[in-house]
C-alpha cells in the first residue's frame, strides 16, 4: 500500500454575514510531492482544474457571502463525488472519486500506480471529509442565523469535451438535481437571468444537473437551497495551456454571474 499524506489544509474558508455559501470544490491545484511523482507529465499540469474562479467571483466577498475554496487538485480526490464513489450519471462516462484518467481519457498515473482502496480511504479522511464538514457546518450556521441557507456550487469546464458531451456546451449550465435541490421559483429566476446574458447560452438541468454537493446538501424542505453553475471556461479564460485569465472576456460574463448571486441573496432575504 502507498500511504497518502499531505502538508496542506483541505480548504480555505472565508465566513461572511449573509445567508449564502459559495463552494469551489475544483479550484485546487495542490498535489503532494510524493503523489505527483506517480503522475504523468500531463497530469502534473492539473489541466482539469476549475481555473480562476476565485478571481471571477471576487465580488462575492464584498457582498457578504461565505466562500469555501478547495486547495487540493481533483486528481487527489474529487470533492464533488459521493464518498463511496458511486456514479452521478449512470451509463455515462465520468471520472471517479479518486480519478485515474483525465477529461481527455488519458491515464493520470505512470505504469498503473493508481490508488488502492486503503489509499483512497486516507485521501477521503485527509481532504474530502474536512471540506464537507466545513460546508455542512456553515450551512447549519447560516440557517440558524437567518432561517434559510443558500449554497452556490461554482464550477467551470472546457466548452468542448467529446468524452462527456457532444458539440459545444452551453455557457451557463445551472443544475438543481432536476428540481430537487432548490425552490423551483428560484431556479426559474436564475435561468431567466442566465438566458438574458448577452452573447451567451444557458440551460437548466441539461448535461450537468449538479454533483454530490448540490444533490446532498440541497434540502428545500429544510430551508437549504443548493444550485450548481457549470460554466464554459471560454467565457472568461484560455481553455488550453497556459490557462490564462482573460479580463476583457471575463468582463462580459461577470455582471451576469453577479446578478445570479444577487438573485440568490434576494431570494434568501425574501424568505
Q: Which of 188, 170, 176 is nearest to 150 (CA)?
A: 176
Q: What is the pLDDT at residue 127?
A: 98
Q: What is the pLDDT at residue 189?
A: 98
Q: What is the pLDDT at residue 134?
A: 98
Q: How many CB atoms lie within 10 A of CB 100?
A: 15
Residue in the block written with cell 463525488: 81
Q: For each of the chain's 271 residues, which pLDDT tens digit applies?
A: 578 999 999 999 999 999 999 999 999 999 999 999 999 999 999 999 999 999 999 999 999 999 999 999 999 999 999 998 776 666 665 678 999 999 988 999 998 789 999 999 999 999 999 999 999 999 999 999 999 999 999 999 999 988 778 899 999 999 999 999 999 999 999 999 999 999 999 999 998 999 999 999 999 999 999 999 999 999 999 999 999 999 999 999 999 999 999 999 999 988 8
Q: What is the pLDDT at residue 166?
A: 85
> H or E stretch including 11?
strand 11-14
Q: What is the pLDDT at residue 88?
A: 67
Q: What's the whole-model pTM score?
A: 0.95
Q: What is the pLDDT at residue 55?
A: 97
Q: What is the pLDDT at residue 95?
A: 73
Q: What is the pLDDT at residue 131?
A: 98
Q: Which of 11, 28, 235 is nearest to 135 (CA)?
A: 11
Q: What is the pLDDT at residue 212?
A: 96
* Contact assessment for residue 120 and residue 134, using Cβ atoms and an 8 Å cutoff: no
* Terminal C-alpha separation, the chain: 51
Q: What is the pLDDT at residue 90?
A: 63
Q: What is the pLDDT at residue 268?
A: 94
**Alpha-helical runs (H) found in 7-113:** 33-36, 53-56, 59-62
* Contact assessment for residue 109 and residue 38, using Cβ atoms and an 8 Å cutoff: yes
**Alpha-helical runs (H) found in the chain:** 33-36, 53-56, 59-62, 117-123, 129-146, 184-195, 212-217, 247-270
| CA atoms of 96 and 74, how far apart (whole Å) | 10
> Strands of 20-24's sheet, edge to edge?
11-14, 66-70, 20-24, 149-157, 224-232, 172-175, 202-204
| CA atoms of 120 and 137, how far apart (whole Å) | 24
Residue in the block written with cell 436564475: 190
95 is written with which cell numbers?
A: 471520472
Q: What is the pLDDT at residue 165?
A: 85
* Contact assessment for residue 267 and residue 254, using Cβ atoms and an 8 Å cutoff: no
Amino acid at each position: 500500500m502507498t500511504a497518502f499524506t499531505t502538508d496542506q489544509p483541505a480548504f480555505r474558508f472565508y465566513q461572511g454575514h449573509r445567508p449564502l455559501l459559495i463552494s469551489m470544490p475544483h479550484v485546487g491545484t495542490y498535489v503532494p510531492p510524493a503523489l505527483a511523482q506517480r503522475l504523468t507529465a500531463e497530469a502534473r499540469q492539473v489541466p482539469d482544474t476549475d481555473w480562476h474562479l476565485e478571481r471571477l467571483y471576487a465580488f462575492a466577498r464584498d457582498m457578504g457571502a461565505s466562500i469555501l475554496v478547495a486547495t487540493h487538485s481533483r486528481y487527489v480526490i474529487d470533492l464533488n463525488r459521493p464518498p463511496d464513489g458511486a456514479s452521478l450519471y449512470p451509463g455515462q462516462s465520468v471520472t471517479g472519486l479518486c480519478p485515474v484518467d483525465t477529461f481527455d481519457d488519458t491515464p493520470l498515473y505512470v505504469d498503473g500506480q493508481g490508488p488502492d482502496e486503503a489509499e483512497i480511504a486516507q485521501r477521503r479522511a485527509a481532504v474530502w471529509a474536512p471540506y464537507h464538514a466545513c460546508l455542512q457546518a456553515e450551512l447549519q450556521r447560516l440557517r440558524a442565523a437567518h432561517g434559510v441557507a443558500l449554497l452556490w456550487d461554482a464550477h467551470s469546464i472546457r466548452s468542448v469535451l467529446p468524452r462527456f458531451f457532444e458539440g459545444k456546451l452551453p455557457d451557463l449550465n445551472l443544475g438543481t438535481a432536476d428540481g430537487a435541490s432548490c425552490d423551483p421559483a428560484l431556479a426559474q429566476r436564475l435561468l431567466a437571468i442566465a438566458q438574458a446574458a448577452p452573447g451567451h447560452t444557458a440551460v437548466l438541468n441539461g448535461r450537468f444537473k449538479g454533483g454530490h454537493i448540490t444533490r446532498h446538501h440541497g434540502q428545500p424542505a429544510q430551508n437549504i437551497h443548493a444550485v450548481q453553475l457549470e460554466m464554459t471556461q471560454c467565457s472568461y479564460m484560455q481553455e488550453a495551456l497556459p490557462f490564462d485569465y482573460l479580463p476583457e472576456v471575463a468582463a462580459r460574463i461577470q455582471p451576469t454571474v453577479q446578478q445570479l448571486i444577487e438573485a440568490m441573496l434576494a431570494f434568501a432575504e425574501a424568505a
